[in-house]
């Protein structure tokens, strides 16, 4: 999604050229390209699919079938991680606890289905500015509490710096996620201001903002995370630029903040 | 600030006419009108000044004199509460813990000065979307932890629904604030989406958004708050409308969410 202006074959080719070993995919471009074709393309190039975005939106009606389809797509792509964006308040509701209870029910419904297909669910807490309309799960601790009833191999969390950087309890929650074996996904994006209208497409290129990304990488590593580090930027300005240039820039920036672990960076 | 299009004498006259017993003021319009004149205007009308906004920004250099001036102005206006917006990251910094330590130092410097003048400080946690550029204090628990070293009569917190509504730990923190005697200020605003660019002027009129404001009023009352309930809306659309109409609408909306306590509503 960081370089959504690149078609899937281009993205894969440039990842290979740049030594980027894995890529996190979103469902829409995969569906457009064709699930089987996308799976073959990535596999034949020797890339890992680090995660699939996304299932969830449990607070809307009738999402069961689509969420199971998301699990099937993850399995077909060979990734073990499906990212969940849980959904905000249902239309007309002001009841956050009820929304969170509904999210818990949705996860309980989906987790066994996913586990049978070798896919683990990764609950992503979104920044509190999305609590109303996208995700009523706003902190890592909330996400970990939602995951707690399930085996760690079935349900864990996403640590996305953009969403949790402000939280003074996040460092302890990262350690908790690691200790519980639930740190299923780690994503980087920087925080820049002013935020754009709608606040969806203002994630900063690594190093352009105020998040101490190097410290986050160290913290997540200290919690035992040895999996991929993803970069997920939704940024209107980056999308207007040449995709290959943005991919190369992102790789450079990634190297600056993680000098000792420049191994994988999904685009 | 909700009806900043009204000049101070207009605001005061309409508060009196509508039976609004108190008003929260901001420093800028008070300074423009003249501190002594503003104090006399409000006092002669029989209104209470519920709070003065604002001091703080402790993470910027050289704010000591201005913060003491804010205390003096609060005392001159006869209000016992100065709201503090603590400040975000200093320019070029990515160190949130350091910013928070600096805020703690600033409060320690200001609290005794304020206490000598009969003014208590009210730390306002701002929504996490302001953590970088306005306020590194993002939750009620953080604000209460910052207040903890001081007597409750010197330093407490502001509960503003717009800033804390998303936080699953806020209800417990409200109870904690009440038990500690630190619930110094309670402010209402609703949460509406989409957020405008810059996210500063999108606070919703009461009832237009997704916050269960009636439940918040009950919760704060249950925590022992018997002080004023303020309405603080920064909203470009409301500012474009006739100020008296907005004031009356706000009073109506306030009555709808607090049917049993329609007593004071500062504009």
**For the segment A46-58, what is each residue's pLDDT rounded down to a tens digit?**
999 999 999 999 9
In whole angstroms, give the CA distance from residue B56 to residue B28.
15
A149 token code pair: 């009833």
Domains of chain B, each with CATH number or no CATH: 8-254 (3.20.20.150)
Mean pLDDT for chain B overall = 96
**Testing the interface with B: which of A87, A91, A98, A131 to mutate, by most B Cβ within 10 A?**
A131
Q: Which residues of A touch B190 (CB under 8 A)?
A: none
Interface of B to A at Cβ within 8 Å reads 89, 93-97, 100, 127-129, 131-133, 136, 138-139, 142, 165-168, 191, 193-199, 209-212, 215
Look at the alpha carbons of A104, A171, B151, B187 in this order and tell me if their dihedral is positive or negative.
negative
Distance (Å) from the C-alpha of residue B166 to the closest C-alpha of chain A? Answer: 6
**Testing the interface with A: which of B130, B140, B199 to mutate, by most A Cβ within 10 A?**
B199
Q: Which residues of B touch A210 (CB under 8 A)?
A: 89, 93-94, 132
Task: Flag whether pLDDT at B157 surpasses 80.
Answer: yes
Distances (CA, A) of B49 to A27, A170, A186, B53, B264: 55, 38, 49, 11, 11
Nearest Cβ partner for B132 among A133, A193, A198: A193
Q: Which residues of B touch A97 (CB under 8 A)?
A: 168
Q: Provide Rg for chain A, Cα atoms.
A: 17
Pairing status of strand A190-191 against strand A203-204: antiparallel
Other beta carbons within 10 Å of A7: 13
What are the backbone dihedrals phi and psi of residue A157, each rounded to the nearest 5 degrees, phi first? -135, 165
pLDDT of residue B125: 98
Q: Which residues of A touch B162 (CB under 8 A)?
A: none
Element (DSSP H or E) covering residue A170 = helix A170-179
Task: Flag whether pLDDT at B266 surpasses 50.
Answer: no
In whole angstroms, give the CA distance from residue B119 to residue A120.
54
Pairing status of strand A81-85 against strand A48-56: parallel
Q: Which residues of A touch B199 (CB under 8 A)?
A: 129, 194-195, 199
Nearest Cβ partner for B128 among A127, A132, A211: A127
Average pLDDT of the residues in B114-127: 98
Confidence label for B259 from pLDDT (cuts 50, 70 and 90): low
CB B38 within 8 A of CB B6: no
pLDDT of residue A259: 64
Distance (Å) from the C-alpha of residue A256 to the closest C-alpha of chain B? Answer: 15
Task: Flag whether pLDDT at B264 surpasses 90.
Answer: no
What are the backbone dihedrals phi and psi of residue B89, each rounded to the nearest 5 degrees, phi first? -75, 135
Cβ pair A166:B209 closer than 8 A: no
CB A216 within 8 A of CB A189: no
**Regions in chain A scoring below 50 on pLDDT:** 261-267
In whole angstroms, give the CA distance from residue A176 to residue B176.
25
Confidence label for B108 from pLDDT (cuts 50, 70 and 90): very high
Three-class SS of chain B: CCCCCCCHHHHHHHHHHHCCCEEEEEHHHHHHHCHHHHHHHHHHCCCEEEEEEEEECCCCCCCHHHHHHHHHHHHHHCCCEEEEECECCCCCCCCHHHHHHHHHHHHHHHHHHHHHCCCEEEECCCCHHHCCCCECCCCHHHHHHHHCCCCCCCEEEEEEHHHHCCCCCHHHHHHHHHHHCCEEEEEECEECCCCCCCCCCEEECCCCCCCCHHHHHHHHHHCCCCCCEEECCCEHHHHHCCHHHHHHHHHHHHHHHCCCCCCCCCC
CB A194 within 8 A of CB B129: no
A124 token code pair: 């992503």
Cβ pair B138:A167 closer than 8 A: yes
Contacts with A3 (C-beta within 8 Å, 6 or more apart), sequence order:
A11, A238, A243, A244, A246, A247, A250, A267
pLDDT, tens digit (0-9, with 9 covering 90-100), for A188-229: 999 999 999 999 999 999 999 999 999 999 999 999 999 999
pLDDT of residue B258: 83
Task: Flag whether pLDDT at B165 surpasses 90.
Answer: yes
Nearest Cα to Cα of residue A166 among B171, B84, B129, B197: B129
Per DSSP, the three-state class of A161 is: helix
Quick one: what percent of chain B has pLDDT higher than 90? 96
Q: Is A92 exposed, middle or buried (0-12, 13-18, 19+ CB in 10 A)?
A: exposed
Distances (CA, A) of B2 to B45, B80, B135, B206: 20, 21, 21, 11
Per DSSP, the three-state class of A83 is: strand
Cβ pair B167:A133 closer than 8 A: no
CB A107 within 8 A of CB A84: yes
Cβ pair A138:B166 closer than 8 A: yes
Nearest Cα to Cα of residue A83 among A37, A143, A42: A143
Average pLDDT of the residues in B257-267: 57
Nearest Cβ partner for A129 among B96, B97, B127: B127
pLDDT of residue A62: 93
Nearest Cβ partner for B89 among A199, A210, A215: A210
Nearest Cβ partner for B129 among A97, A100, A127: A127
């Amino acid at each position: 999604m960081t370089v959504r202006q690149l078609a899937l074959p281009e993205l894969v080719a440039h990842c290979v050229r740049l030594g980027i070993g894995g890529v996190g995919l979103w469902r829409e471009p995969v569906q457009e390209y064709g699930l089987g074709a996308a799976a073959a393309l990535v596999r034949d190039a020797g890339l890992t699919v680090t995660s699939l975005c996304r299932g969830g939106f449990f607070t809307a009606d009738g999402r069961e079938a689509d969420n199971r389809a998301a699990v099937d797509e993850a399995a077909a792509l060979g990734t073990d991680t499906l990212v969940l964006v849980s959904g905000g308040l249902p239309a007309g509701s002001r009841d956050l606890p009820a929304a969170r209870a509904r999210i818990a029910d949705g996860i309980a419904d989906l987790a066994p289905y996913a586990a049978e297909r070798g896919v683990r669910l990764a609950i992503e807490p979104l920044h509190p500015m999305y609590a109303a309309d996208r995700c009523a799960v706003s902190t890592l601790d909330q996400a970990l509490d939602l995951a707690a009833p399930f085996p760690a191999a079935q349900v864990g969390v996403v640590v996305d710096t953009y969403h949790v950087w402000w939280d003074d309890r996040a460092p302890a929650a990262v350690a908790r996620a690691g200790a519980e074996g639930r740190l299923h996904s780690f994503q980087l994006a920087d925080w820049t201001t002013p935020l754009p209208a709608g606040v969806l497409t203002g994630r900063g290129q690594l190093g352009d903002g105020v998040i101490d990304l190097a410290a986050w990488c160290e913290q997540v590593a200290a919690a035992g995370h040895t999996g991929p580090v993803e970069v997920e930027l939704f940024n209107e300005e980056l999308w207007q630029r040449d995709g290959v240039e943005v991919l190369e820039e992102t790789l450079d920036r990634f190297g600056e903040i993680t000098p000792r672990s420049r191994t994988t960076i999904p685009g």
